[in-house]
Amino acid sequence: MRILGIESSCDETAMSIVSENDGVIVIEKSLVASQIDLHKIYGGVVPEVAAREHVSAIFPMLLEMNISRDGQEIDAISVTAGPGLVAALRIGVELAKTLAWMWKKPLVAANHLEGHVYSVWSQTPTPAFPALCLLVSGGHTELFLMRDHGHYELIGMTRDDAAGEAFDKVAKLLGLGYPGGPAISKIALEGNASAITFPRPMLESGDSDFSFSGLKTAVRVYREAHPEASVADIAASFQQAVVDILTIKTLAAVNRYAPKSVILSGGVSANRALRELLSSQLAQQFPDVTFHAPNIELSGDNAVMIAIAGLHRAKQNDFVDPLTLEANPNMRLV
């Protein structure tokens, strides 16, 4: 099966062609047009600007995919239907509906979060079930237990800010610009991660929930009290607090749910400190549990993950009507 993936939920327009033969996934084409430079001026994503940019990027991108006019080489289309910015989602969804109707191809309404999880299926070995998924992005911080393809059980989530959002907000108050994650992890390399002991909220909560808003406030209060402090030390110490919280809580969930694998995904999975601590602690404490994280280029938003999630939905004949599909900004995984 060969599937066309389309993603436009936030500030990346992306398209991919992914095929699967006997369980082997091949990424035939993957294009991503990032709007980051545009949104940087505003210090965050402006939905109206994002939607306008998707409109101007998506048709040239479709042409660049070099698909024949009747779409004969494509077996199905998978598009991100949610969650995300509704005006942005609609651009991809309307294109996917039109192509599916014109080409008479089945259409999958992919969930963006499921896409992030499936980004690791682009590599071998693939995760064994049950898999514990730590999904960390700009809008979400969640722990899921995935018992099989398409079956998720929510076991914990953030009660306030998402991990990526905490990176973005702290970067803003440190004057490091947008997006915050890459900026903080870069400057953190020059800082001392144990220079400042920031709080690690929710470690003793006894559940798998997270909270990052107090940590962000702690950074702001520290910065105001110590204007002379090194930004690199603050960034490194903040990053260490986030990485410790995510790692400790994930390992506690491994202990509780005994999964066969752990999947780290979402934009924050690009963070090296997080990858290194989580994978090394997992290997030390649970040597039989395998660790899976996407290649760095598939950790942020892309359409390969949407196509792979779509492949699995297509195998279950989980298709939608191209005439009635609507973008769902609050689409849930469970």
Selection from ligand KG4, Zn ion, none that 271 binds (CB < 5 to 8 A by kind) is ligand KG4
Rounded Cα distance between 216 and 12, Å, is 26
Q: Is 221 exposed, middle or buried (0-12, 13-18, 19+ CB in 10 A)?
A: exposed
What SS3 state is found at 28?
Answer: strand
Q: Which residues contact 37 (CB under 8 A, 6 or more apart)?
A: none
92 binds ligand KG4 (CB under 6 A): no
7, 20, 233, 301: which one binds ligand KG4 (CB under 6 A): 301
92, 106, 182, 294: which one binds ligand KG4 (CB under 6 A): 182
300 binds ligand KG4 (CB under 6 A): yes
Q: Which amino acid is at 182?
A: P
Q: Which amino acid is at 309?
A: A
Rounded Cα distance between 9 and 93, Å, is 10
Contact 86, 329 (CB under 8 A): yes
Q: Which is nearer to ligand KG4, 246 or 314 (CB)?
A: 246
Number of CB atoms found within 10 A of residue 52's CB: 16
Contact 38, 178 (CB under 8 A): no
270 binds ligand KG4 (CB under 6 A): yes
82, 92, 127, 181: which one binds ligand KG4 (CB under 6 A): 181
Selection from ligand KG4, Zn ion, none that 233 binds (CB < 5 to 8 A by kind) is none
138 binds ligand KG4 (CB under 6 A): yes
**Footprint on this chain of Zn ion (rule: CB under 5 A):** 137, 301
7 binds ligand KG4 (CB under 6 A): no
137 binds ligand KG4 (CB under 6 A): yes
Residues engaged in binding ligand KG4 (CB under 6 A) = 10, 137-139, 164-165, 167-168, 179-182, 185, 266-268, 270-271, 300-301
